[in-house]
Chains A and B, each alone.
Chain A
Amino acid sequence: MRITATVNGTTHQADDVWPGESLLFVLRERMGLPGSKNACEQGECGSCTVYLDGVPVCACLVAAGQADGRQIVTVEGLAAGGALHPVQQAFIDAGAVQCGFCTPGLLVAAHDLLARDPSPSEADVREALAGNLCRCTGYEKILDAVRLAAARLAAGPGGDGA
């Protein structure tokens, strides 16, 4: 079947899609957007997290046909105008990226959290990231990155949050 969806603001089309394949497969293998990662294909790791109609979901658990006509934002869509989003910059600055496989999913999850709640509690951060596994960092740097991003976003454009 043919799938047409708005991905990161532009219309993408894929032909001869097997309807039972996942949105993750469509994004990576048919639309040339390999940012979202495939690590488990069973909803356990969150490395495939994307926005579907504004809500973070595991792309590996969305059937291709279900995504037809929908709005999707992947990690590739977070940076605007050539500049990294503050959440992305904070991950780099806090040293929250090692192998990087978990990073795209964590970025979408953290982006969503801070969009809903600009100053989340420690418990809220842990809860929001509970669906994302990282085998490298031990999570502490990731939590630091989210705190840093929250502080910078609160300080506003150009602010350093210090």
Chain B
Amino acid sequence: MEFLRPESLGEALAARAAHPEAVPLAGGTDVMVELNFARRRPAALLDLTRVGELTGWHADGGTVRVGAGVTYAELTGERASGGQTALGRLLPGLAMAARTVGSPQIRNRGTIGGNLGSASPAGDCHPVLLASGASVEAASVRGRRQVPIDDFFTGVKRNALAPDELITAVLVPAPGGPEQFAKIGTRNAMVIAVAAFAIVLDPVRRRVGTGIGSAAPTPVRAVAAERLLAGALAGDGLWESRGPLPEQVVTEFGQAVSAAASPIDDVRGTAGYRKQALAVLASRTLGWAWRDYRAAGQQAGRG
């Protein structure tokens, strides 16, 4: 087995083009499990952990560019003094999702780029990225492009990357509205989601974003639920009044999210359970997000 260890993005892209058989390796939390159990014997590994251009993040206008090599622990800020980072404050939904991943050891090593590379329907970043309307930045020796997250997941554990491409970053709009993420599993740590849901409310563009995990062959949005809620918020003047959400809107939103899922029965749960769980997760996270939106309004009113 060959071990390729580029030290710059240019070298990494050249290696990717020259060795299409090489498996990119970031935190290794997915790849190494496959190697340890001999489920995979690639001819070469392409180590990305020495490529500085993939690390770090910066905010540019309303968009945050998160390097593919950014770890979950960097998103949560759990190792930072005070337990929070500027990145986590800018992207609270992603920080919440990152917080539920694996264990401290996994969060110290696993990356957002690796989550997208694996493209598992249970990947915890995905619902938030869908709800935020993020894009994936891909690069190759041919150039750079942005893939809208809606077009990124092409099948079970498949994504839209070309064989010579690497993920360089994720571009996440940060509108500053409320964001929530919740997932269901058997305990708090080390849990692959039985079902997960993210909601992002954008008060500026009056947009509602959603993302569902572990309940379809790929992570998906609940487009009809987004429309239903955006319609109700606009129709009743709720964006402006920040008044209480009618109970019926909350219930119907949950039902519409559940209807958008096409889950299967597996060892972690039945399709019926997942549908029911999603309705509950959607109603609950909407309640939390709306509570946050109202509280922010009161604070602004006082300020």
Binding site for B on A (CB under 8 A): 1, 18-20, 22, 41-44, 46, 49, 55-58, 60-63, 65-66, 68, 109, 116, 127-128, 130-132
Contacts and interface: CB of A to CB of B under 8 A. Distances in A.
Given A49-B105, A55-B108, A131-B102, A60 B189 contact: no
B8 interface: no
B105 A131 contact: yes
Interface of B: 1-3, 5, 25, 27-29, 31-33, 35-37, 41-42, 45, 47, 49, 73, 79, 102-106, 108-109, 188-190
Contact of B2 (A19, A60, A62): A19
Given A19-B3, A62-B109, 7 more contacts: A43-B103, A58-B105, A58-B106, A60-B32, A61-B28, A63-B31, A131-B190
A43 B25 CA distance: 16
Contact of B108 (A18, A41, A56): A56
Nearest to A60: B36
Contact of A130 (B25, B79, B104): B104
A1 B3 CA distance: 9
Nearest to A65: B3
A56 B104 contact: yes
Given A61-B28, A61-B33, A116-B79, A131 B45 contact: no
Contacts of A1: 3
B71 to A, nearest CB: 9
A66 B28 contact: yes
Contact of A55 (B45, B79, B189): B79
A46 B103 CA distance: 9
A63 B28 CA distance: 7
B73 to A, nearest CB: 8
A66 B188 CA distance: 30
A109 B3 CA distance: 30
Contact of B189 (A49, A65, A131): A131
B104 A58 contact: no
Nearest to B78: A127
A19 to B, nearest CB: 3
Contact of A63 (B45, B102, B105): B45
Given A1-B3, A20-B1, A55-B79, A62 B32 contact: yes
A127 B108 CA distance: 14
B1 A19 contact: yes
Contacts of B32: 22, 43, 60-63
A127 B105 CA distance: 11
25 contacts: A19-B45, A20-B1, A20-B3, A22-B32, A22-B35, A22-B36, A43-B32, A43-B33, A55-B108, A57-B108, A58-B106, A60-B36, A61-B32, A61-B33, A61-B109, A62-B109, A63-B25, A63-B45, A65-B47, A109-B104, A116-B79, A127-B104, A131-B102, A131-B104, A131-B106
Contacts of B42: 20
Nearest to B49: A66
B36 A57 contact: no
Contacts of B37: 41-42
A58 B3 CA distance: 20
Nearest to B36: A41
A18 B38 CA distance: 13
A130 B36 CA distance: 22
A131 B102 CA distance: 7
A56 B148 CA distance: 34
A20 B35 contact: yes
Contacts of A128: 104
Contacts of A49: 105
A40 to B, nearest CB: 9
Contacts of B190: 44, 130-131
Contacts of B104: 56, 109, 127-128, 130-131
